[in-house]
Structure 1
Amino acid sequence: MRRHRALAATALAASALVAGGCAATAPEPTTTPVAVTETPRSAPAVGAMAVVGDSITLGVSACGSQEACPQASWAVGSEPEVDSIVQRINDELGANPRATPIARLGAGVDYGVDSVDLIASTGADLVLILLGANDACKPTVDEVTPPAEFAAQYSAMLTGIAEALPDTRIVALSVPDVLRLWELGRTDPETVAMWGASPSCRSLLAEADSDATADVERRAAIEETVDAYDAAIIAACDAVEQCTSDDGAVHAVRFEVEHVSAIDSFHPSIAGQAALADAAWPVVASAISP
């Protein structure tokens, strides 16, 4: 049975495994009571986990500097305040999976496609994917990944992973709401100046305090592009049997000022990483439930 989008955050979806075969011959009736006990279903093992992502997964700017800080990662971190996915798997299942972040600064969906062999080499039982922000956040609008291209590459990535690791569960997470980042910083002169001095994400953050028609339309186009990415992620995941989509849960996280690093006013802080872990956990729990 194909695993579709995750259920609400308070529920764990169970996959029904239907086994075909011949019916056994019924036993003769007996008047002797027979005690029937049901064997509990245990959660499948998660011995290895791979996480495909970008600087967010690496915890960049979360720990007081612009350096990567994997211990604060929403997925693989050890920071108690984050309560990362790997920590929650440990708490819920008593497992301590080997977690491999396959992530790179500036990574887009093409990085995921190029990393299929590396993902396969981990032998992961569970693969988490958080990509797409850098496809929308580009130095220029012309460099933004077109939605149709994003959709084709995301589908190729999921298909490649599924073919290489046919028993692996895959969790496809939506793109964080990058427009919310602009909303939080647009009225702060220091933040606007910081964004203006950086070549990163100018497709969205250039002229951040401008209400000129061209700038308003440019931001709206980026928002529409990210929405199209999220729709493509759901569609690509629905086409792969062992994939579970978050149905937009990560995108729905409404960041506040405390969720954004004061170092660069761009990447998640420790509180922001924790918010991402909170949003991702229900769909991960659904994917690994028996």
Structure 2
Amino acid sequence: MIKKITPVLATAVLLVPTAAHARTTPAVMAALGDSISAGFNACGWYVACTSRSWSAGDSSSVNSHYLRLLAMGSAIKGHNLNFAVPGATSADLAGQARKAVEAGAGYVTVLIGAQDACVGTEKEMTPVGAFRRNVDAAFDVLRPAGARVYVASIPDVKRLWQVGKDNGWARVFWGIGHICQSMLANPKSTAKKDEARRDRVRERVMDYNEQLRQACESYGPACRYDGGAVFSYPFTLKQVSAWDYFHPNADGQKALAKITFDAKFFADVEP
């Protein structure tokens, strides 16, 4: 569970690099995951915008993990790699992990699973057991390399339905783009079958998050799970891209960076 610190203390930690921080902050970092970490639609029409990634982006408008590490005195400058791929599922994570290891990443962020749940129908969702095996396979690649891993929980896709279902443009984009139809199909419907379907998809996301927590715990002290911070975050439609009403925009990416970064992680874990 992330240890919460007050905004004042957070500023002090990030802006005053101590000797402990200088020793333990990584020289290379890598973002693994799907379109969220790739910054998809955060700056343009259906394009990845890695500069605005909550993890490895270099845009001051987001203040990513990368920029926060720089502020802590890390020698990471220019070594912010992004191997996240739009549309990636947990099955792609091990391949991304191998790229991170080959690049010498000492710090890796993982945000994966939205695309395992956001498919055309419920039946197409990745089984929980398969999801866990995929995550374990990726961690088995990272562990021998000694990489420090931060695991973010999957966002609550039902909240996206809740904040967007009454917006006409959101419904149009969800329908035309066939976006996350397991959750977002028939968004105005109050039929019991549709309400039950949405609840089941949300439960699957919660199951994935529990597997992420357990996998991180098994990884050891060099892994930090966000304690469900991303899943629980009450995001608004203003933090979602108007290009598709699904992916975080720059404000959404900024919020992700803020609620996930844990400065203490780099002071209390030896490399």
| Paired positions, count | 256
Matched with 1:176 is 155
Runs of 4+ residues over 6 Å off in structure 1: none
Q: TM-score, normalised by structure 1?
A: 0.83
Deviation at 1:92, TM superposition (A): 1.7
Runs (5+) with no aligned partner, structure 2: 11-17
Match of residue 187, structure 1, among 154, 166, 175:
166
Deviation at 1:207, TM superposition (A): 0.7
Instruction: Give the whole-Å Cα distance in 1 for the aligned partners of 2:107 and 2:218.
Output: 18
Instruction: Give the whole-Å Cα distance in 2 for the aligned partners of 1:131 and 1:148.
Output: 15
1:117-128 counterparts in 2 under 5 A?
117-128=98-109
Deviation at 1:152, TM superposition (A): 2.1
Matched with 2:3 is 7
Q: In 2, are the aligned partners of 1:169 and 1:287 still within 8 Å (CA)?
A: no
Secondary structure of the residue aligned to 2:231 is: coil
Secondary structure of the residue aligned to 2:108 is: strand
**Which of the pair has more CA radius of gyration?**
1
Q: In 1, are the aligned partners of 2:40 and 2:247 still within 8 Å (CA)?
A: yes
Q: 1:289 to 1:185 in 2, by over 3 A?
A: same
Instruction: Give the whole-Å Cα distance in 1 for the aligned partners of 2:217 and 2:126.
Output: 22
Instruction: Give the whole-Å Cα distance in 1 for the aligned partners of 2:122 and 2:235.
Output: 24
Deviations 1:235-283 (A, max 9, x none): 111111221111111212111121011111111111000000011112x
Match of residue 219, structure 1, among 198, 201, 225:
198
Matched with 2:57 is 77
Larger RCO (CA within 8 A; separation ≥ 6): 1
1:229-240 counterparts in 2 under 5 A?
229-240=208-219
Identity %: 33
Of 270-279 and 186-195, deviating more is 186-195
Q: In 2, are the aligned partners of 1:155 and 1:236 still within 8 Å (CA)?
A: yes
Matched with 1:66 is 46
Deviations 1:108-156 (A, max 9, x none): 1111023332121011111110111111101221110112221222122
Q: In 1, are the aligned partners of 2:131 and 2:208 still within 8 Å (CA)?
A: yes
Q: TM-score, normalised by structure 2?
A: 0.89
Matched with 1:102 is 83
Runs (5+) with no aligned partner, structure 1: 13-38
